[in-house]
Amino acid sequence: MKYLTLVNVSKGFADGLMPLGLLSISAYIKKNDPEIEIKLLDSNCQDLYENFETPDVIGISAVTQDIGRAIHFAEFIRSKNTTPIILGGVHISTYLKLPKQFDVGVIGEGEQTMLELIQLEDFSHKNLKNIKGICYNNNNNSDRTIFTDPRDLITNLDDIPIVDRDLTNISYYSQPRQIIPYHFGRSFTMISSRGCPFNCVFCSTKIHWKKFRAFSAKRVIEEIELLINRYNAEIIHIFDDLFIADKRRLKEIHRYIVEKKINEKVKFMCLVRSDMIDDEIMKLLKEMNVVVIGIGMESGSESMLAYLKRKTTTIENNIHAIELSNKYKIPTMGSFMVGNPNETEEELLETLNFIKSYRNSPFLCPLTYISTAFPGTEFWNFALEKGIPVENFDKIVMDIPHNINDLKDAPLLTRIPLDRFFEIICKFDKETQYGMLKRNTFFPKNAYSIVKAYREGAIIEKNLFVGFIEVTKLLFMGMNYKINLFSK
């Protein structure tokens, strides 16, 4: 019997989401080698440091934002013993530099690689060099990372068993909570595909997953049914980069969901693209009981949008998507990026004005993120050329902060002076807050939700009177919207 501890250092968002990558590795190892005993240390619901017990091998997962936390934990383990520590996940897979605290880095898909690693007698370089898809540091020269041959991607994703959710603290993750906007309940995440057929200049997906692959519709339904029957799921967030990438598969998933009446048991959220959705797709999503969609709208400036999405999307596409979202009454979380490479103040303001012009659109909720360079992307190359300190990973700020000082050391890509940039992005933040209160102004459930909206309006505007006027305008627009609906 060998003992493996998998470690999730990521925490935050909606009281934490299950670390699906680690759970997939666990399921794969359990299927292929039942002699391995696996434990999860999960920072969402545990103190990693207090609960650590030494196993035979440790595997830590990290996205770029979490690498500082992963290193810190690896240092803590090192201070106790010499157990081999493996780093996996999107950060090492795209950055390709292994911090000295780790013995091995796993590049890309981790299931088979981790299985082979845990079966090794020891982690001598003689053994490691035969394992595909890893890197390790040369003992004699700590600046040199040695890479083995790349590992082929798993051809048929259905060969990977359903992720091992039982490894987690299920009672923690089964508590009713809100992981998708507006909907509260027992909520779970799942992944039904890997990668994305597109290659936006800021996105890590192409570098990490190489190409788009999907689980079969049948297998997707099997996992959804498991979530409903075993974990009593009421809400499922399908976290694929682009759930609708394969329209044929989408239709098949839709058919099963409707036939099996899954749409009467569970609500879904998924991510789509504005240039891909049309009446047919929206109808399918509506019938499946998709209650919120997410779209990367990115910019209100045509030239910026063309750059960010390599000319695959236009403002017209985004406008059409907002219209479809209103038509089918599926709220859209539209995310926008501010502070892009070479973005002018005019382009930034175009985005702000675009968002503002949809304040009266009942189903668009804009979200704004500060552009960040992630390893391997075109943004990354831009930043390195300009000498922007993008390797200060612990200084990354993507959410709009309340204090300009929080941006002072952040590796920003913008060339707009910081004071002015901060002044403008605070206005974006205001639109996000208005987006969030649309529910209470367009579709108030009762008198209390209207009072709540007025209170939120006053907070957003930091002025009782202006807040009152703005929320009253929204309430009128909401009434108008409903009158229009009736008259149609």
Based on the shown chain and the rule CB under 6 A, indicate whether residue 439 belongs to the binding site for ligand SF4.
no
Based on the shown chain and the rule CB under 6 A, indicate whether residue 412 belongs to the binding site for ligand B12.
no
Selection from ligand SF4, ligand B12, none that 164 binds (CB < 5 to 8 A by kind) is: none
Based on the shown chain and the rule CB under 6 A, indicate whether residue 203 belongs to the binding site for ligand B12.
yes
List the one residue out of 265, 325, 267, 262 whose CA is nearest residue 295. 325
Matching residue, tokens 């391995």: 36
Distance between alpha carbon 308 and the CA centroid of its chain, in Å? Answer: 18
Closest separation in Å from C-beta 93 to ligand B12 = 6
Based on the shown chain and the rule CB under 6 A, indicate whether residue 24 belongs to the binding site for ligand SF4.
no
Residue 3: CB atoms within 10 A of its CB come to 16
DSSP 303: H
Residue count, binding to ligand B12 (CB under 6 A): 41
Q: Which is nearer to ligand SF4, 241 or 431 (CB)?
A: 241
Selection from ligand B12, ligand SF4, none that 318 binds (CB < 5 to 8 A by kind) is: none
String of contacts with ligand B12 for each residue 233-272, x by CB under 6 A: ------x-x-------------------------------
CA gap 131, 44 in Å, rounded: 31
Q: Which is nearer to ligand SF4, 296 or 376 (CB)?
A: 296
Q: Answer yes or no: are the C-beta atoms of 454 and 467 closer than 8 Å.
A: yes
Interacting residue with ligand SF4 among 40, 74, 203, 297 (CB under 6 A):
203
Selection from ligand B12, ligand SF4, none that 239 binds (CB < 5 to 8 A by kind) is: ligand B12
Based on the shown chain and the rule CB under 6 A, indicate whether residue 198 belongs to the binding site for ligand SF4.
yes
Task: Find the part of the chain contacting ligand B12 (CB under 6 A) among 87-95, 301-309, 325-333, 351-359.
Answer: 87-95
Based on the shown chain and the rule CB under 6 A, indicate whether residue 191 belongs to the binding site for ligand B12.
yes
- Judged by DSSP in three states, 266 sits in coil
Based on the shown chain and the rule CB under 6 A, indicate whether residue 148 belongs to the binding site for ligand B12.
no
Selection from ligand SF4, ligand B12, none that 296 binds (CB < 5 to 8 A by kind) is: ligand SF4
Selection from ligand SF4, ligand B12, none that 59 binds (CB < 5 to 8 A by kind) is: ligand B12
Say which residues have a Cβ less than 8 Å from residue 301's Cβ, sequence separation at least 6: 343, 346, 347, 348, 350, 351
Say which residues have a Cβ less than 8 Å from residue 43's Cβ, sequence separation at least 6: 7, 8, 9, 10, 11, 16, 69
In the structure encoding, which two tokens stand for residue 390, read together? Answer: 């993008």
List the one residue out of 92, 89, 62 whose CA is nearest residue 376. 92
- φ, ψ for residue 226 (rounded to 5)? -65, -40
Selection from ligand SF4, ligand B12, none that 91 binds (CB < 5 to 8 A by kind) is: ligand B12
**DSSP letters spanning 201-236:** TT-SHHHHH-S-EE--HHHHHHHHHHHHHHH--SEE
CA gap 139, 145 in Å, rounded: 9
Based on the shown chain and the rule CB under 6 A, indicate whether residue 10 belongs to the binding site for ligand B12.
yes
In the structure encoding, which two tokens stand for residue 63, read together? Answer: 């996205």
CA gap 395, 452 in Å, rounded: 35
Residues 237-266 that bind ligand SF4 (CB under 6 A): 241-242
In the structure encoding, which two tokens stand for residue 372, read together? Answer: 């960040």
Q: Answer yes or no: are the C-beta atoms of 373 and 379 closer than 8 Å.
A: yes
String of contacts with ligand B12 for each residue 329-368, x by CB under 6 A: ----------------------------------------
Q: Which is nearer to ligand B12, 17 or 471 (CB)?
A: 17
CA gap 21, 110 in Å, rounded: 8
Interacting residue with ligand B12 among 13, 140, 446, 447 (CB under 6 A):
13
- Judged by DSSP in three states, 9 sits in coil
Based on the shown chain and the rule CB under 6 A, indicate whether residue 232 belongs to the binding site for ligand SF4.
no
Selection from ligand SF4, ligand B12, none that 273 binds (CB < 5 to 8 A by kind) is: ligand SF4
Q: Answer yes or no: are the C-beta atoms of 245 and 196 closer than 8 Å.
A: yes
Task: Find the part of the chain contacting ligand SF4 (CB under 6 A) among 38-46, 191-199, 420-428, 444-452.
Answer: 191-199
- Judged by DSSP in three states, 468 sits in helix
Q: Answer yes or no: are the C-beta atoms of 124 and 86 closer than 8 Å.
A: no
Closest separation in Å from C-beta 36 to ligand SF4 = 33
Based on its alpha-carbon atoms, the radius of gyration of the chain, rounded to whole angstroms, reads 24
Residues 366-405 that bind ligand SF4 (CB under 6 A): none
Q: Given its phi and psi angles, is residue 4 left (phi above 0), alpha (psi -120 to 50 degrees) or beta?
A: beta
Residues found near ligand B12 in the complex (CB under 6 A): 10, 12-13, 17, 19-22, 24-25, 59-61, 63-66, 86, 88-91, 93-94, 106, 109-111, 113-114, 191, 203-205, 208, 239, 241, 369, 374-375, 398
In the complex, which residues of this chain contact ligand SF4 (CB under 6 A)?
196, 198-200, 203, 205, 241-242, 273, 296
